[in-house]
Each structure stands twice: as C-alpha cells, then as structure tokens.
C-alpha cells in the first residue's frame, strides 16, 4: 500500500483544461447535492490532480470555476453560516506522500508531532449538529465550508444523533451521516416499493435522503461524530475542554454525551507516536474494510494534541494538521453490456452481469453478480445502463444500481428466460432464486464432474468427457452410481482398455475413503461450499448425526443462521436416498479427528461419530490460530491443493482464511508468495515455509494416521467376525 498513488489525468492544452474544469464542477455539484455523480471517486481524484498539475504549470490560466483549493470542489449549497468554517481534507495516496506531508507539518510547528490520531474516513455526508442546553436545534450540511443547508427535518431518521444529550450542554458536533449496508438495502426496498428508481450507492442514498422533505416514506441513516467545538453560549468548563483537550479526548467526551463515534466499531480511532505506526494502523483499517458495515474511502490522520493543531493552523480549504490517506476505489461506474443466465449444478438459474471491463481495487472486473431475477426488476436494470459496480476485499463484484440520470433512452429491458437455458425444461419461479424443474438432473454432467473433482471425491481419470460417456450410456444417473460401476460396464465404454479401467476403479475405491467434509462438498448442498462443508463435518462428525439434526442443532454451527439452517436441513432430507446409496456402496460417512456434539446421544463411545475422537480438532497444534496459505507448496505438502491445505489446517484445530489481516496468526508462504507475504511482513505476522509448517503439525499428523489405522483395523476385524 505504501507505493500506491492515484495518477493525475493528463491535460495537454487549455481546451482540455477547460473541459476538465467544467466536468469536475458538474460532478462535484451532483456529488454534494444528491450523491449521484457521473464520475466515481477514483476518476474525480485523477481529474482534480490533473487540473491542479495544469494550474501549477500555467498559473496565469486558472479558471474561477476550478475545484482547486475549494471546499467540496466549489459546490456551494445552502445559506446557513457556519460558526467556524467547515473545511475539507487534502489527500495523499500512499506512504511516501504521507511521509512528505508529515514532515511538512513538523517543520511548520517547529517540533515533532506529539502523537497522531488515526481513524477511518467514513464515506458519508458531512454535517454539523448544534445543541443548546442538551437539545438538538439545528442540522446543517457542510456546503461550501462557510455556509450550508438546513436539513433539521431529517434528524428523526438519523441513529446516533440523539434529540437530547446526556447533559444540558451547548456545543456543535460535526460528523458524517451515512447508510450502513443493512440500512441501504432497506432504503432501496422502500424506494422501489414506492415506484422510485433504486439508489446508486449508500453515500448517494444518505445525501439524497437527508435533503428530501416530501417523500411518502422515511429511511434510517446513521451518524458518527469526528469533531466538536464550543458555541457562543457554551459554558466555560466545556469550552475549555473542547478547545484544550486532544482530539481523542474530545471524541470520548462526545461519546459520553450519547453521540455515536467510531470508537465502538471494528475500526476505532487510535493514537500512535510515529509515521511507521501510522502506516501499520492504516494497513489494519484497510484490511478491515470488507468487514465493516459501512463504507470507508480512506483513513484520516490528524495531529492529536490541540497545541499541535493550533501551531500548524489551517488554509482556506483544509486544516494543515490533518490529511486523508485515500484507499483504492471499491466502486466504479461502467456500462452493463448484457445479462447471462447460467445453470448451476443444483438447477439454480443465476443471472450474471456482463460489464464493460473496469479496474476496481487493483483488478479488472468484466462480470458481476446479479443475485436473482427479482433483484434485476427491483433495481430496474437495463442493458446499456451506466451502473455502479462494487467490490471490496475478496468479495465477488456486484452491481449496486443503475445511475438513472445518465440514461439516454437507448437502454433496453433485460430479457428473462422462459425455459431453462440448459435443457429447455420449465422453470420454477415460485422462489426468488429460479430453478429448472429438473433440479440436479438438469446439470447431471456438471454435478457428477464437480463431485469427482479434486477438492471433493478426487477421482483421478474421471474428467468431463468420461462423465458424458457414463451419463449418455445410462450407467450413471447420480453420483451414487459411480461407486457401483463394474469392470465389465466400464470396459464397454469407448476407448476404455483394461489398464485405464482398472486405474479408474482403483481411483473410485480410494474415493470411498474420503472424509465426511469431502462427501458433503460432493453432494453440493446449497449454501455450504467447501469451507462450510468442513465446518459442518467437524461439528457433527458423522453423517448419521448430521442427518438427524434439526434446524436448532444446525444453527449451532458457526456461520449458519436461521434461513441457511432451514435450507440445509431440508436439502439433506431431499438427499436422503442418495446418501443411503453412497453409504450402501461403502463410502465413508465420518470425519477423522472429530467428535459429534456432546448433547447428542450418538456421541457415546463406539458410535460412528467417535472414530478418531482421541485427536479432537479443538486441541490440535493450531488451536485458536487463523492461518493463511499462499504460494506453491513443497516437500511433504507438495501434492496438497489449496482446499487440501485448508482441510489440514482445520483438522488441526485452526481456522483457514484467504486474506492476510491483523487477525492472521500464521502465513504459510510457498514459492511465489507475492503480496500476501509482503503484507504479513508489514504487520509482523509469523511466516512459515511449507517444510516448517509440516514440522509444526507433524505430531498431529502422526496421531491422526494412527487413529485412522486403528479405525480401519476395527472395521476389518468386524468384517471378519461377521464372515
């Protein structure tokens, strides 16, 4: 992150400069008035830097409409004067720029900054809330920094901004009004339910809703304070505190009065003493970005001490003691070119947006999820729309909404399929997610190929071509039929000789011994996936215990809520016949090293779920650790896929994760580890090579192997006695 810089737009002449100024002026006006700008944040930043660079090279050509040096880009809105100018912040885009800026602050005050306050930069609408004798009397937008718009009518819709403070004090609290992810979804449901077009993004939704006076519905927003200052009649004791305390102490005082601050969130403000610590905290907050329930577009760094702020002073646009470290954009505007309809292995018909490729957060995005047909209708998406696309962390890109005011009239309605795109059968449209009426049989080849894949049953030699042969010949009607195939049946297939037949039968035989988690993944239970399949298998330990679980028992698995529990229980009931078929064919139905829930009667010694109980995962060598794997594995781990490594981590008591953050305990870094290793080094996270990791868990692997041998021997003895 330290090297990231947003490049400036190149303006080659006065004509290009004039166009850029006019574009920036319109974009700023739309952004600060309704939140619906034709430019995304990244594009606006590049244009603003280009304008500033041109003006520096041509000081005699600066336009009066230029956004440079102006609060809110010169987009003045409102006529209520601010008691103290409500300024914007200057930006830096990486560690080198921050270091240069911090040095300039220290030169200005003539000494090292006592400490820095580092906090998330919330992506909302800046407002000032005035309290008199503890009561909220006025709410004002930032406007042009000198005067703003009175939006007091919106106060009843804003959580975190109480009508009355805990004490009868007089002061002004400044902060951001925003919508959380949950509030944004509810607001769009209300808006479209009243015939309106959906909001493009949470910031636009908050900006528009704060100003709206005549809507037939009310939406909820949230306020977070970032500053407070005395008013004319503020008592001397509080006035002294607000002007003489550090920034952190002022926010603590505000929070004690009952106003929301970010102190109670996952990314609270923190004071640090030097530039290296600032960088580390920036990395920590950036890593938390995908998990936060609200949008952030950067991190704000301020001189914490009031004396340092006073000595540094302020300019006409921004304070000289604070800066915004901007993060890469996670939302961009691009064009919706088409909608594809894909059929999943369970028969689910899923729409996917085909986009004009756009770079978001460092990667090129050409496709995005659209969830379901109802989502397309609710958002009023049309082919040819300019759409807001959102991406954060490892989340799959999704289309938020069309930017409706950019429509030209040439956009076309999305055409929904009338029959299944895969097989031509009817479509069940009774639920939000449409499904082919043939269900799994619609995509039998895909579902069998998936089940035979490396991270499921791992049946070597059973690729898609061979699966097509088996399905077309009538030998395989579901994945259970794979385990009852005979040598004669396989030899009867085209291009299957004795050696390849014997190899395939041997691979199918080995597949019977895969752990329960792999069996669950192969079944393709909706709402699970590989990671959740491992979690469920470790929790219930055996298929018998799992299939007997009700919704309440299913909810005890980490990450499973009410709706998902209901769906999993229902689907397992639907799969009972297939599970029985797999069991009868000799497929393993237990998870090595796991024990069933202690409140389940089948957890008693000797039950199917007790196999391997002497090596419980929660007591493994990785207990309590979050482990990330990157790069290519070598040595004893060379043949393990990424999913296999994750299985191993979780069997050993750890939690596997795909991204490095401050919560990561260990990074297993193989060849070509790349950026994850760099990030782990910056955060001081322990790093192990594949060989070192194998040595770390060697005793666990040996104990697990012994347990497996013991269980196999017991099964063999039982078979002998039965014979």
Active-site amino acid positions: 121
Give the count of beta carbons closer than 10 Å to the beta carbon of residue 367.
14
Q: What does DSSP assign to residue 126?
A: E
Helix, strand, or coil (residue 229): strand
Give the count of beta carbons closer than 10 Å to the beta carbon of residue 465.
10
Alpha-carbon gap, residue 282 to 268, rounded angstroms:
12
At residue 456, φ and ψ (nearest 5 deg) are: -115, -105
Integer angstrom CA distances of residue 169 from 127, 129, 235 = 19, 13, 8
Half-sphere exposure of 557 (CA within 13 A, CB side): 26
Contacts of 59 (CB under 8 A, 6+ apart): none
DSSP-derived pairing of the beta strands 626-630 and 666-669: parallel
Alpha-carbon gap, residue 592 to 582, rounded angstroms:
18
Dihedral over alpha carbons 143, 145, 147, 148 (to 10 degrees) = 30
Alpha-carbon gap, residue 439 to 295, rounded angstroms:
38
Half-sphere exposure of 699 (CA within 13 A, CB side): 5
Candidates 659, 653, 656; CA nearest to 680 is 659
Q: Where are the beta strands (DSSP E) in 292-447?
A: 296-303, 322-326, 331-343, 349-360, 363-369, 382-383, 386-390, 398-402, 412-413, 427-428, 435-436
**Backbone φ/ψ region at 174: left (φ over 0), alpha (ψ -120 to 50), beta:** beta
Alpha-carbon gap, residue 230 to 569, rounded angstroms:
58
At residue 273, φ and ψ (nearest 5 deg) are: -105, -15
CB-CB contact of 316 with 90 (8 Å):
no
At residue 584, φ and ψ (nearest 5 deg) are: -65, -25
Alpha-carbon gap, residue 27 to 451, rounded angstroms:
51
Q: What does DSSP assign to residue 196?
A: P
Q: What would the two tokens of residue 652 be?
A: 């050993």
CB-CB contact of 555 with 561 (8 Å):
yes
Return the ∠ at Cα 121 (arms to 119 and 123), rounded to 5°. Answer: 150
Contacts of 485 (CB under 8 A, 6+ apart): 470, 475, 476, 505, 508
Return the ∠ at Cα 188 (arms to 182 and 190), rounded to 5°. Answer: 105
Give the count of beta carbons closer than 10 Å to the beta carbon of residue 430.
7
CB-CB contact of 254 with 264 (8 Å):
no
CB-CB contact of 572 with 524 (8 Å):
no
Q: What would the two tokens of residue 570 be?
A: 């229902």
Gyration radius of the chain's alpha carbons: 30
């Amino acid at each position: 992150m330290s090297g990231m810089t947003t490049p400036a737009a190149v303006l080659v002449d006065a004509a290009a400069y004039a166009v850029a100024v006019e574009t920036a002026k319109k974009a700023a006006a739309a952004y600060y008035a309704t939140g619906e700008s034709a430019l995304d944040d990244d594009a606006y930043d590049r244009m603003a830097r280009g304008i500033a660079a041109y003006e520096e090279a041509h000081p005699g050509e600066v336009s009066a409409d230029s956004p440079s040096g102006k609060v809110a880009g010169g987009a003045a809105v409102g006529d209520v004067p601010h008691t103290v100018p409500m300024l914007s912040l200057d930006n830096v885009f990486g560690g080198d720029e921050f270091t240069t800026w911090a040095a300039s602050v220290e030169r200005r005050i003539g000494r090292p900054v006592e400490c820095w306050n580092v906090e998330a930069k919330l992506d909302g609408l800046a407002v000032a809330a005035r309290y008199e004798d503890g009561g909220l009397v006025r709410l004002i937008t930032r406007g042009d920094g000198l005067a703003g718009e009175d939006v007091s009518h919106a106060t009843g819709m804003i959580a975190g901004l109480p009508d009355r403070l805990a004490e009868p004090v007089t002061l002004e609290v400044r902060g951001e009004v925003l919508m959380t992810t949950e509030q944004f979804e509810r607001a769009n449901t209300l808006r479209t339910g009243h015939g309106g077009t959906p909001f493009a993004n949470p910031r636009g939704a908050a900006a528009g809703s704060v100003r709206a006076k005549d809507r037939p519905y009310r939406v909820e927003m949230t306020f977070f304070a970032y500053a407070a200052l005395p008013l004319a009649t503020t008592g001397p004791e509080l006035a002294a505190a607000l002007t003489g305390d550090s920034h952190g102490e002022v926010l603590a005082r505000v929070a004690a009065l009952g106003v929301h601050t970010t102190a109670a969130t996952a990314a609270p403000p923190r004071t640090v003493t030097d530039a290296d610590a600032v960088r580390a905290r920036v990395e920590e907050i950036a890593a938390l970005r995908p998990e936060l329930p609200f949008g952030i577009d950067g991190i704000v760094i301020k001189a914490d001490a009031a004396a340092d702020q006073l000595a540094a002073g302020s300019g006409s646009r921004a304070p000289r003691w604070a800066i915004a470290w901007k993060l890469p954009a996670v939302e961009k505007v691009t064009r919706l070119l088409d909608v594809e309809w894909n059929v999943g292995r369970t028969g689910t018909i899923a729409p996917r947006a085909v986009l004009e490729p756009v770079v978001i957060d460092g990667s090129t995005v050409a496709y995005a999820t659209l969830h379901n047909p109802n989502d397309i209708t609710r958002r009023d998406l049309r082919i040819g729309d300019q759409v807001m696309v959102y991406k954060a962390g490892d989340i799959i890109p999704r289309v938020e909404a069309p930017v409706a005011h950019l429509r030209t009239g040439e956009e076309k309605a999305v055409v929904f399929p009338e029959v299944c795109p895969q097989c031509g059968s009817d479509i069940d449209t009774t639920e939000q997610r449409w499904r082919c009426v043939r269900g799994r049989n619609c995509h039998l080849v895909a579902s069998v190929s998936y089940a035979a894949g490396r991270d499921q049953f791992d049946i070597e030699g059973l690729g898609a071509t061979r699966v097509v042969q088996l399905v077309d010949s009538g030998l395989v009607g579901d994945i259970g039929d794979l385990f009852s195939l005979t040598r004669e049946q396989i030899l009867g297939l085209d291009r299957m000789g004795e050696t390849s037949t014997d190899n395939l039968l041997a691979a199918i035989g080995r597949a019977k011994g895969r752990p329960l988690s792999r069996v669950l993944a192969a079944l393709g239970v909706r709402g699970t996936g590989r990671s959740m399949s491992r979690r469920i298998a470790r929790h219930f330990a055996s298929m018998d215990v799992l299939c007997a679980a009700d919704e309440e028992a299913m909810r005890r698995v980490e990450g499973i809520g009410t709706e998902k529990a209901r769906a999993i229980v229902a689907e397992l009931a639907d799969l009972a016949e297939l599970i029985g078929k797999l069991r009868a064919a000799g497929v393993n139905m237990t998870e090595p090293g796991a024990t069933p829930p202690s409140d389940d009667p089948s957890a008693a010694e000797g039950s199917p779920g007790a196999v391997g109980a002497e090596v419980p995962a929660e007591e493994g060598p990785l207990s309590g650790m979050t482990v990330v794997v990157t790069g290519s594995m070598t040595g004893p781990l060379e043949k393990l896929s990424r999913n296999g490594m994750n299985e191993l981590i979780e069997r050993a008591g750890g939690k596997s994760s795909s991204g490095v953050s401050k919560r990561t305990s260990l990074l297993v870094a193989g060849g070509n580890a790349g950026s994850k290793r760099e990030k782990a080094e910056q955060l001081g996270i322990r790093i192990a090579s594949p060989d070192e990791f194998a040595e770390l868990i060697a005793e666990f692997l040996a104990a697990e192997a012994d347990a497996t041998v013991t269980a196999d021997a017991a099964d063999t003895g039982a078979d002998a006695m039965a014979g």
